[in-house]
Structure 1
Amino acid sequence: MPPFKPLLLAASTVLVLGLTPLASHAGEGALTAQLEAARQEGSIWTAFALNRHLNPFKLDIAVQEGVATLGGQVESDVQKDLAEQVALSIEGIDSVDNRIEVSGDVAEGNPPSLVQRLEDASLAATVKSKLLWNSNTRGLDIQVRSEAGNITLSGHAQTPAAKELAGQLAANTDGVREVFNHLSISTADSSSSEVQTAVEEARENISDSWITSKVKASFFYSRNLDAMNIAVNTDDGLVSLRGSVLSGAEKRLAVEIARNIRGVRGVDADALRISS
């Protein structure tokens, strides 16, 4: 992988996640809100990385419905207040739940470089987006953290299969070195959750252009596909792939990735040839 691809990935992640309600159909409203929250988390991570008073500390960030929840430890009240103000400066953040602890015992060590922090912020946003785009992991309560390219997944999955799939989606992301899958299995209300997910899917009216963009982005982020050689078109939820791949395994992977994007009703890969 070229040394500067992560910085390009950061820019492309912002473009992919930078959706607005005006650009989406009514059925995409909830998904747009989820993706916007992921974009805001990435923006806060980046802002912290660029701030020399905050970048030495490992801070936790979670965004939901315009509320940013901050955690971790800093050395002073000034740094805690600064983190809150930085988070509030991000577009779309209305309030901050500041749970950062002030401790004089925070280990200093050698903080990651600015480039590494930007790479990690971009990588975490990318993995979280892939989980939201996928029809089989869309409803999972998953937090994503990246540190030096190592992804940690925490939260809950309804089945062992869903947990495994989340780990595979993260591991197949370009730039990810290792995945620590700490998702716990919560099957108590899995049946009702599956029914609710099916109802939501039936109500969704995801546009063909949205599907096409997410299939293309998923190909781009995959470590095992050359996205530049695959053309994607969507008509009424049916995805057509054409172009070339290097092997039958790559073709099967491309079909699987496309099939699992939310809103996809089928995939035609007859025009996707295997280069000899």
Structure 2
Amino acid sequence: MLTFKPFGLALATTALLHATAYAAPAPQQAARDEGAIWMAMALNKRLSPYALGVEVQGEQVVLTGKVENQQDKDLAQQIAEAVGHQPQVSNQLQIDPALGDQPPSRQALAQQVDDATLTATVRAKLSWNTSTHGSAIKVSTDAGVVTLTGRAKTADAKLLAGTLASNTDGVTVVNNLISLSAADTRTTQAEVAAKTTDESVSDAWITSKVKASFLYDRNLDALTIDVQTREGVVSLGGEVASSEQKTQAVQVVRTLRGVRGVDADLLKVALASAG
């Protein structure tokens, strides 16, 4: 019998697998299941503040610890059922409403994953955009606070980098410490434009990056916007909640590499409900 202890299990990064049939797990499999279930709960935004225990005992996985409410208790069980190989879950989590009085916090591992994801997302967005592509901009994230350092090619590129970071879902604060020399401001606007003209970017690449940019943007709903690209011209359709969102969607597209134009005539603004 193995008892899982948070942060003490090297196998916690194992893939999350569904069981098709139950067989008594070997000690190694039990350890993998304990790690996988705990990892899934540690990375869940609702469950990560809690100190939860996971232990595989024969044909069942046992959950221990305290959560604030029944909803979180049920969620932990659903995750254990989905991730583990055991046919039964013994949900021994205790409900303690007093946990709701504590300031919200995340376990270190979950916060590290969130920060790494934000850093990668901002870096990707910078690489997709005309003004920031190829710039020596460095990105780091600590507890949702993104810091931009290095050097941009133009003042517009520095401003755009800050905007791309601040509009990224999950970012709380942006420290834009990007440096800019006088020589950069005089010469690189034309150089960036020339480089963009020479770059060959496929329509499929543009479409995928437009959709991803919408998905990462805190102010846009990617699922309601249709995107098509033909010879570098992006056509937007579907519906957004406001004219401001439509304007932002168009602006996001215009900054992407390879985009020659944007047609947003079919992107409609939702009518406010009466009453």
User: For the superposition of Structure 1 and Structure 2, which TM-score range results when normalised by the shorter chain?
Assistant: 0.5 to 0.7
Could you list the runs of 5+ residues in structure 1 that have no partner in the other structure? Answer: 1-110
Supply the distance in 2 between the matched residues of 1:241 and 1:133 (Cα, whole angstroms).
Answer: 18
Which residue, 121, 129, 133 being the options, matches 2:124?
Answer: 129
Aligned to 1:244: 239
Contact 2:155 2:185 in 1 (8 A): no
Q: Structure 2 CA distance, aligned partners of 1:112 and 1:124? A: 18
Deviates more, 1:111-120 or 1:178-187: 111-120
- Partner of residue 167, structure 1: 162
Cα distance between partner residues in 2 of 1:259 and 1:207: 15
The equivalences for 1:1-276 within 5 A come to 113-276=108-271
Percent identity for Structure 1 against Structure 2:
51
Conservation of the 8 A alpha-carbon contact between 1:154 and 1:184: yes
Question: Structure 1 residues 213, 253: CA separation in 2 closer, same or farther (over 3 Å shift)?
Answer: same
Structure 2: segments with no counterpart, 5+ residues? 1-105
Tell whether the 8 Å contact from 1:150 to 1:177 is kept in structure 2 after alignment: yes
Give runs of ≥4 in structure 1 deviating > 6 Å.
none
Q: How far off is 1:196 after superposition? A: 3.4
Higher relative contact order (CA 8 A, sep 6+): 1
Give the letter aligned to residue 231 of structure 1.
D
How many residue pairs are counted as aligned between the two chains?
Answer: 166
Question: Conserved in 2, the CA contact under 8 Å of 1:159 and 1:187?
Answer: no
What secondary structure sits across from 2:111 in the alignment? helix
Alignment RMSD (CA, Å): 1.7
Matched to 1:201, the amino acid is: T
- Work out whether residues 245 and 275 of structure 1, in 8 Å CA contact, stay in contact via their aligned partners in 2: yes
Q: CA 1:142–1:249 in structure 2 vs 1: closer, same or farther (change >3 Å)? A: same
Q: Which has the larger radius of gyration?
A: 2
Whether the 8 Å CA contact 1:233–1:241 is kept in 2: the answer is yes
Q: CA deviation at 1:171?
A: 0.2
Question: What secondary structure sits across from 1:228 in the alignment?
Answer: helix
